[in-house]
Amino acid sequence: MARRRRRNQPVTLTPTEVEGMRVVGKFAAGLLKQVEKIIEPGITTEDIDALVHELTEARGAISAPLGYPAGSAHPFPKHCCTSVNHVVCHGIPSARHTLRDGDIINVDVTPTIDGFHGDTSRTFIVGHAEPEVRRLVDDTYESMRLGIAQVKPGGHVGDIGHAIQVFAEGRGHSVVRQFAGHGIGQIFHGPPTISHVGRRGEGEMFVPGMTFTVEPMLNMGDWRCQILGDHWTVVTIDHSLSAQFEHTLTVTETGVEILTLAEGDTFDLSVE
Ligand code: MF3
Ligand code: CO
Ligand code: CO
């Protein structure tokens, strides 16, 4: 029998449901591995969307972004988000957008299989990047890693934001406030909100089965963003570069399990 998820109660999954999340999570991670192979100067962001579309359909999966949210006046029109350079998130793939050497691009995929969502993104460097650009991208991954490494029963949502914010700001980057991680399972975006800034010990307490994303966006300049007239594309207000990484994870009895790893991938949970 399906359990009711009360309003504002964190998405908390049964062991059987977590198994469904492992299946879709591994598939989502594999999508990004396939995307990585085609990233090079000269391709368009539509080429990336076409690949995600094709692989998703071949698996019998569904792209949750397409038409999201249901009933909206401005549903998202593509299978994935492609966010280039100063685009923070929710960039719309387009045949008119060709990648150039030195660009950075975040590709964010969310397939569903049997109703479960696997939400993950990575920022790729197109060709060769300046050292300070590479530093932003590497630091954004590290901030996500440190945030995730906080997760264990008895800890709090604020521990994640604190770890991310202290590291990111210590490295001279800013942390986006308007967008956050989220509970996920049979729904795409549910409680709790996982802020990427915060204070240790604040917010929801982690309990086994709680399932959510961690998806920090770090900017080289100002943390503030604005949404363009297409109703989706989020850009930094100062047009500074922005990078993002995202995993879907679940709280275990002893710590955390990353659900969006591909076969053979490892994840370092150390905090030194
Ligand atoms: N995948 C995004 C996230 O991390 C959400 C994208 S919503 C879409 O939450 F409609 F833009 F696809
Ligand atoms: Co995502
Ligand atoms: Co997400």
Task: Encode pLDDT of 156-180 as tens digits.
Answer: 999 999 999 999 999 999 999 999 9
For the CA of 108, the nearest atom of ligand 1: 1
Residue 106: name the closest of 86, 123, 81 by CA: 123
Interval 25-51: pLDDT, tens: 999 999 999 999 999 999 999 999 999
| Contacts with 250 (C-beta within 8 Å, 6 or more apart), sequence order | 13, 18, 21, 209, 210, 211, 256, 257, 259
- For 99-110, what is the mean pLDDT? 99
Q: Could you tell me the distance, in angstroms and rounded to a whole number, from the CA of residue 246 to the centre of ligand 2? A: 6
For the CA of 119, the nearest atom of ligand 1: 1
The residues placing their C-beta within 5 Å of ligand 3, an ion, are 119, 213
Q: Is the CB of 49 under 6 A from ligand 1?
A: no
| Contacts with 131 (C-beta within 8 Å, 6 or more apart), sequence order | none
Report whether pLDDT(1) > 60.
no
Report whether pLDDT(108) > 70.
yes
Q: What angle do CA 62, 66, 71 make, to 5 degrees?
A: 115
In order of their start, the domains of the chain are 3-257 (3.90.230.10)
Confidence band (pLDDT; 50, 70, 90) for 7? Answer: confident
Q: Could you tell me the distance, in angstroms and rounded to a whole number, from the CA of residue 216 to the centre of ligand 3? A: 10
Q: Which residue's CA is the nearest one to ligand 1's atom 7?
A: 65
Confidence band (pLDDT; 50, 70, 90) for 6? Answer: low
Q: What percent of the chain has pLDDT over 70?
A: 98
Residue with more model confidence, 127 or 2: 127
Could you give the residue ranges of the DSSP H alpha helices within 124-180?
A: 131-148, 157-170
Query: Tokens in use for 49?
Result: 């969307």
Q: Could you tell me the distance, in angstroms and rounded to a whole number, from the CA of residue 109 to the centre of ligand 2? A: 6
Q: Which residue's CA is the nearest one to ligand 1's atom 3?
A: 119
Confidence band (pLDDT; 50, 70, 90) for 272? Answer: confident
CB 89 within 8 A of CB 40: no
- From the number of C-beta atoms within 10 Å of its C-beta (0-12, 13-18, 19+), residue 193 rates as middle
Confidence band (pLDDT; 50, 70, 90) for 12? Answer: very high
Q: Could you tell me the distance, in angstroms and rounded to a whole number, from the CA of residue 128 to the centre of ligand 3? A: 28
Q: Is the CB of 119 under 6 A from ligand 1?
A: yes
- For 171-195, what is the mean pLDDT? 98
Q: Is the CB of 116 under 6 A from ligand 1?
A: no
